[in-house]
Chain A
Amino acid sequence: MTHPTEEEMVDRYYSDAEAGFEEHLAICQECRALYRAICETLEMAADHPVPARGPDYGSQVWARVSAQLPAKARKNWLLVPALAAGLAVMFAAGMWTEHLRKEVPPLQVTFVHAPAPVLVQPAAKKPRPVRVLTDAEQDKKLLALNSLLEADAKSALPKVLAMVNGKTSDRTKEHALFVLAQSDSPDARAALMNIARDAAKPELQTKAVRMMVVMGEGGPRKEVAVPDRVTVFTLKGAPTAEKKQILNSVFLAANSQVLLDVLKKQPDAGVRAATIRSLAVMGERSNVLTDVYRTDSDDGVRRAVLDVLVVQQNGEALSELARDEPDAQRKKEILSRLATIGYRKIQRPPP
């Protein structure tokens, strides 16, 4: 055997030797020294410990990865026809929009954002034509379904619900909920109520309740008791942040009656405190707020009342609370707030 190259020696270190390699090293001192040098080098850079991972590591990785996965992977062969179809639909939607602009009053055309294409991928194995729907396209469908809901709710409602529950964008879902919320159809209202009660889909639930709050009070269905709907939802196990979102909607709808109702029935102190702040901004009478201070057992809610009275510069109400407060620490807290607003006319307790 001729002298092996250095590259062959490196290869030899990691894999089986070619025939004659060992024999050659036995008789060739030069190659033996070189091979030994290579082995020494690689052993110096020997293995180092990798931190151990438990047997459930795969599940842990999956938990992290699955939370960030996009809705669905797409197959290569879908991309070209999908793109072509997308362009065609966008072009058609543009033409249709131009056509509708002539017929629909401007205020009703609220869907003016650039459409984000939504690919609806067929589940079957064989290639099928890919239907590409844009938000604008969905909106046009909703406009049609909106009219149909009043005339023939049974056939229109499933289609609207499919848009609410299907793989549509958040924007389309919200528009579909809007269609349900402003419909006079009892079936549509019942469907919206079901969505508002479905805690398994919290995002949809929140949107539905907010839509009911806003549309119910200012819309055509005042006969439906909005406070009942809201308290039904907010009294249940929704996260505090979502409850606050709903309360914001109530606040925007200027529905102080709903807020007062929430204040009485809501077990979540954080939500009650947020309600206090909304009520104060809406100009609720101070006696309502001071009543809350006296009856609510939560310190956070009480502080929220004091805060809004400070913001309102309502020294008289604070003074009244200070006078009636039996707890020395709380009385001190109220007095310090009175000092903050520079109120000095403390009411003396009646003799």
Chain B
Amino acid sequence: MEWTDHEAARRAGAGDQGAFRLLVERHSHAIFRLAFRMSGNEQDAEDLVQETFLRAYKQLHRFDGRAAFATWLYRICMNCSLDLIRARKQSMDATPQWLEQVATREPSPERLSQSREIANLLRPALEGLSDTERHAFILRHYEGCPIEQIAEVLGVQAGAAKHSVFRAVQKLRKALQPVWEVETR
């Protein structure tokens, strides 16, 4: 039977593991994608996916159904990734590997030659964002989430979520300005 997320979550909260399985199978890909963007590597992303669903199961009684289940999961994934980043900051470099791969959507030969420079500028810029700004930017820019959903994930008002995205873009623009200026000459 094909339950809605809310119905499956309600059943899972009552102890129906089959219903929870449905939710895991339905949302695993999206959570992995987000986890990868947040953590920067596959292994951490896999750990985050697992931790997200385990936390979700333990907290199912807190899911009140007002938000979409996916939004609720995103929020848990964000919190898990924050824990991971904090732990990693204490032990090692927090640079996501994928930043090394950053390239433009339509890479011209000139752009390709600038990719490393862009990555070098973008890396500290993203690291310099606050957690809220970075999360808001990833959800908006890479996941294409609407502002309302980002606000729910971050637990803030829509205006604050929008402003977080804006602040992130401002900081990135400042960081990438040298490249942009070269291009516009």
Q: Which of A71-79, A184-192, A268-276, A322-330 contacts B (4 or more CB under 8 A)?
A: A71-79
Interface residue ranges of B13-39 to A (CB < 8 Å): 13-15, 17, 20-21, 24-29, 32-33, 36-37
With A7-B163, A41-B169, A44-B122 known as contacts, the answer to whether A69 contacts B17 (CB < 8 A) is yes
Q: Is the CB of A69 within 8 A of B15?
A: no
A150 CB to nearest B CB, Å = 37
Q: Is the CB of A68 within 8 A of B183?
A: no
For the residues of A in contact with B, the DSSP-based class is helix
The answer, among A10, A14, A50, A57, for a CB contact under 8 Å with B28, is A57
A33-49 interface mask toward B, CB cutoff 8 Å, 1 = contact, 0 = none?
Answer: 00001101111111111
With A74-B61, A75-B61 known as contacts, the answer to whether A46 contacts B14 (CB < 8 A) is no
Q: Is A342 an interface residue (CB 8 A)?
A: no
Q: Is B166 an interface residue (CB 8 A)?
A: yes
Q: Is A123 an interface residue (CB 8 A)?
A: yes
With A57-B32, A61-B28, A75-B14 known as contacts, the answer to whether A69 contacts B54 (CB < 8 A) is yes
The answer, among B14, B21, B162, for a CB contact under 8 Å with A62, is B21
Which A residues lie within 8 Å of B26 (CB)? 58
Q: Is A65 an interface residue (CB 8 A)?
A: yes
Q: Is the CB of A65 within 8 A of B53?
A: yes
Which A residues lie within 8 Å of B162 (CB)? 7, 11
With A47-B105, A75-B13, A121-B15 known as contacts, the answer to whether A41 contacts B173 (CB < 8 A) is yes
What's the Cα separation between A79 and B58 when bound, in Å? 13
What's the Cα separation between A106 and B103 when bound, in Å? 75
A12-27 interface mask toward B, CB cutoff 8 Å, 1 = contact, 0 = none?
Answer: 0011000000000000
What's the Cα separation between A74 and B62 when bound, in Å? 10
Q: Is the CB of A68 within 8 A of B98?
A: no
Q: Is the CB of A65 within 8 A of B172?
A: no
Q: Is A70 an interface residue (CB 8 A)?
A: yes
B146 CB to nearest A CB, Å = 8
B113-144 interface mask toward A, CB cutoff 8 Å, 1 = contact, 0 = none?
Answer: 00000100010000000000000000011101
Which B residues lie within 8 Å of A66 (CB)? 17, 21
Q: Is the CB of A58 within 8 A of B163?
A: no
A11 CB to nearest B CB, Å = 6
Which A residues lie within 8 Å of B70 (CB)? none
Q: Classify chain B: how many residues form its interface, as a range.
A: 35 or more
With A68-B54, A73-B13 known as contacts, the answer to whether A44 contacts B118 (CB < 8 A) is yes
The answer, among B50, B58, B103, for a CB contact under 8 Å with A73, is B58
Q: Is the CB of A44 within 8 A of B28?
A: no
Q: Is the CB of B29 within 8 A of A57?
A: yes
Q: Is the CB of B36 within 8 A of A51?
A: yes
Q: Is the CB of B24 within 8 A of A58?
A: yes
The answer, among A11, A14, A37, for a CB contact under 8 Å with B173, is A37
Q: Is the CB of B172 within 8 A of A45?
A: yes
The answer, among A50, A73, A74, for a CB contact under 8 Å with B33, is A50
Q: Is the CB of B163 within 8 A of A41?
A: no
With A51-B36, A75-B14 known as contacts, the answer to whether A65 contacts B29 (CB < 8 A) is no
Which A residues lie within 8 Å of B118 (CB)? 44-45
Q: Is the CB of A7 within 8 A of B166?
A: yes
B61 CB to nearest A CB, Å = 4
Q: Is A170 an interface residue (CB 8 A)?
A: no
A35 CB to nearest B CB, Å = 12
Which B residues lie within 8 Å of A15 (CB)? 146
Which A residues lie within 8 Å of B14 (CB)? 73, 75, 123, 125
Q: Is B49 an interface residue (CB 8 A)?
A: yes
Which B residues lie within 8 Å of A287 (CB)? none
Q: Is A59 an interface residue (CB 8 A)?
A: yes
Q: Is the CB of B57 within 8 A of A65?
A: yes
Which A residues lie within 8 Å of B21 (CB)? 62, 66
Q: Is B176 an interface residue (CB 8 A)?
A: yes
What's the Cα separation between A7 and B50 when bound, in Å? 36
Q: Is B90 an interface residue (CB 8 A)?
A: no
What are the 10 tightest A-B residue pairs by CB atom distance, in nearest-first order?
A58-B25, A76-B61, A58-B28, A41-B173, A72-B15, A7-B166, A61-B28, A46-B105, A65-B53, A62-B24
19 more A-B contacts (CB under 8 A) besides A43-B105, A45-B172, A64-B50?
A11-B147, A11-B166, A15-B146, A37-B180, A43-B104, A44-B122, A45-B122, A53-B32, A61-B28, A65-B54, A65-B57, A66-B21, A68-B54, A70-B58, A72-B15, A73-B12, A73-B61, A121-B15, A125-B14
Q: List 20 A-B contacts (CB under 8 A).
A: A6-B170, A7-B166, A10-B165, A11-B166, A14-B144, A44-B104, A48-B102, A49-B101, A57-B28, A58-B24, A61-B28, A62-B24, A64-B50, A66-B21, A68-B54, A73-B13, A73-B60, A79-B61, A123-B14, A123-B15
Which B residues lie at the A interface, using CB under 8 A?
Answer: 12-15, 17, 20-21, 24-29, 32-33, 36-37, 42, 49-50, 53-54, 57-58, 60-62, 98, 101-105, 118, 122, 140-142, 144, 146-147, 162-163, 165-166, 169-170, 172-173, 176, 179-180, 183-184
